[in-house]
Structure 1
């Protein structure tokens, strides 16, 4: 009983990011809460009183949200610095909440030749469930990008650079944002091709529409560094399964690939590498077959048009392009797991409404990879780390795929809730209401990587539940 009570009255989430910078230089900014709002844009920062004399200093939190933010400012008492230890490079802020409190903690540790920045949000008290959804998770949103902004304001003498210029098309989506942050924090030069520029984005942004040549092509040259291209561009996948939507999904990927290839073909110096995004969903509804890079694509009923059809056209556009690059890859990515992964939102909604049992039969395979492993794999493909990965098709997939019932059990365990099986009807009704595709959850494929196993790539995130916790 006490353990179940703790599930609802205590909650904690941590986010961390490596920075190729001197830990003391990082903490000189992180430890000054008056500067937090300049790099953490998930809230409006703090108003710090008493010149930060130390523990007990009065601090007013400016939380996120158009509704909760003004309400908090009008009704909430001030918080305070409850712990500060410059020797350990740690500072902690506590905000009283109705029936409890919220603790925010920043810690900077030495990590190799750089620093590891960890941000923790902890809730205690009867309001935990409400504040977890309204404030706490929002404070953690886009923490990797926040760390990249922080890296940008650290004096150049206190961080190192990597001799690589990386251009990312589709760099503002879920994967792209995390990849931009990772590369910036490791000292690479990063440029993003985007339809709409974002304020305070920690990388240079070039406007493009994915169809026409333009000034954005200048991003593919650099006066000092080799240039790498990572093509993530394409319309959001989880749409209703209609012929019109499938055509849009296909066209957005085929056109952007051809447009990039045309620009790259005009370069005097070939790209150092081209990483072409694809998806393990290319294997459609795979049943019990295990797929590696050597497997043929499915045919017939298992070759779903919104999966195999879209992805195979995407890869064919790349293969037809005669890519002007010294080294090239087709990176078929499985479902990338992170506490903020888009797929988890509808699944978590089912769990928190008591319907978190197996979806459909529960036997369908769920191929996945942790975000940290995916980012490290991309660094390997760029040649920034070892082991080297041979050019060609690569599956970004953990060697231990799960079944749907195992995934849902992990989500229930994290939430501390039971769950009724949903069958197939409820996901179909929910997908229809949300404008998504139920086959994303009701089908699956067992995908692993022979290429990564042969290369000796070591997966660090093998515990699915711990990966969702950010551990």
Structure 2
């Protein structure tokens, strides 16, 4: 693709497996008048009773700014493709000097179907629209797919014999995990401090410290699993108070969950979240599950200090579970991954050169592979992975300079090296910690390799393309 085309054409496709009949899923997807019931960011007013190609359709997007502006200024769109046999429907919206195409397709697969959603932008306004409309329409697609799954008639569902409780189930990782498991037929409950309207799972309110009615989330006739992702967000300033809060929130929630599940039928699985940042800034060391945790000055308090306390709380608790894991997750990559926001901002403003010296290691894993690791740990699909510490990390860690080069290529922009000053100042302004991107670790997993786990997302650029 030429550099000019990059600024006048953009396309992104999201996909999600659903354990349901392809025809039953398409009966809803193919009716644009129902889209707003499951894709909350889209709503259509369909004219002429959807007679087929050429049917007039008005897009009624939500939002206090873009919604009224679009409704006041944009012409009607239309259905430009419809194929019942291929389970495909396409809507085209004229835009200044170009168009926006929205395309849904449902493919039959073993055990269910694959839902694909594509947004395609054309014309001189592409760059502006992709960072606003395009991103907003694609965001949280897995959650939208889970809403769709719940709309499909129960007779078309394929149920999974699993009840999964996710503590911290509405953060970036938690909501993607919850949605994926719902779409695969599992019973899913999330524990959260607040309730989100239209979230496609049952939600129990908890504070992570005290016992309460939320403990009934573990009652089920199906095998019960727990995935503990709970804890304060890590993107905070590097102060002693914040570090103590990060560690305490993780220790308390782990102990609280252990108390709630100590009696009665054992859990089938407890997956305790941790992080590969437990190795702090590891230089050129090659790290696997058997590598020692750093101590002394090498153990950064906001990394090793927080993660080691988190893992210790789990190992010291009386965990009532048949299978027990500590899952050290690296940076999970997806077009909407939180870390990519500031990195893409740098690349799109011409500052996407190497950060710091650029040689620091960047260990990562694609979202789809991370979800599959979780499903394997829950024994919902092969291969079976032995209990203990597991690293959720792709087999090909990259240098920071390689990561930034990939992001520059995707953006079609040159990039000036930023050194350490700009990231440090930017982190101070945003209230985050620059050491997240200025430090590095070369982490891999010998456990997943020995178990025969096959990674499907090993091309970093393809994984983060937005």
Q: Contact 2:111/2:158 (CA < 8 Å) preserved in 1?
A: no
Is 2:3 aligned against 1:4? Answer: yes
- Alignment map for 1:63-82 (pairs within 5 Å): 63-82=61-80
Structure 1 SS opposite 2:5 = helix
Q: Contact 2:229/2:272 (CA < 8 Å) preserved in 1?
A: yes
Counterpart for residue 215 of structure 1 = 213
Is 2:237 aligned against 1:240? Answer: yes
Counterpart for residue 32 of structure 1 = 31
Partner residue of 1:126 out of 124, 127, 132:
124
| Alpha-carbon distance in 2 for matches of 1:30, 1:396 | 34
Counterpart for residue 321 of structure 1 = 317
| Alpha-carbon distance in 2 for matches of 1:461, 1:302 | 31
Counterpart for residue 249 of structure 1 = 246
Q: Contact 1:64/1:138 (CA < 8 Å) preserved in 2?
A: no
Structure 2 SS opposite 1:101 = strand
Is 2:440 aligned against 1:441? Answer: no
Is 2:296 aligned against 1:300? Answer: yes
Counterpart for residue 169 of structure 1 = 167
| Alpha-carbon distance in 1 for matches of 2:406, 2:82 | 36
Q: Contact 1:106/1:117 (CA < 8 Å) preserved in 2?
A: yes
| Alpha-carbon distance in 2 for matches of 1:132, 1:460 | 26
Counterpart for residue 57 of structure 1 = 55
Counterpart for residue 456 of structure 2 = 460
- The count of residues paired between Structure 1 and Structure 2 equals 466
| Alpha-carbon distance in 1 for matches of 2:376, 2:178 | 15
Deviation per residue, 1:402-422 (Å, 9 max, x gap): 000010011111111110000
Shift of 1:300: 2.8
Structure 2 SS opposite 1:52 = coil
- The gaps in structure 1 that reach 5 residues or longer are none
Structure 1 SS opposite 2:290 = coil
| Alpha-carbon distance in 2 for matches of 1:425, 1:325 | 47
| Alpha-carbon distance in 1 for matches of 2:86, 2:297 | 59
Q: Contact 1:234/1:256 (CA < 8 Å) preserved in 2?
A: yes
Q: Contact 1:42/1:142 (CA < 8 Å) preserved in 2?
A: no
Counterpart for residue 145 of structure 2 = 147
Structure 2 SS opposite 1:77 = coil
Deviation per residue, 1:427-471 (Å, 9 max, x gap): 00100000000000100101000111111111011100011127x
| Alpha-carbon distance in 2 for matches of 1:143, 1:127 | 24
TM-score normalized with structure 1 length: 0.98
Shift of 1:345: 0.2
Counterpart for residue 429 of structure 1 = 425
- Alignment map for 1:170-209 (pairs within 5 Å): 170-209=168-207
Q: Contact 1:64/1:135 (CA < 8 Å) preserved in 2?
A: no
Q: Contact 1:64/1:139 (CA < 8 Å) preserved in 2?
A: no
- The gaps in structure 2 that reach 5 residues or longer are none
Q: Contact 1:356/1:419 (CA < 8 Å) preserved in 2?
A: yes
Partner residue of 2:97 out of 85, 96, 99:
99
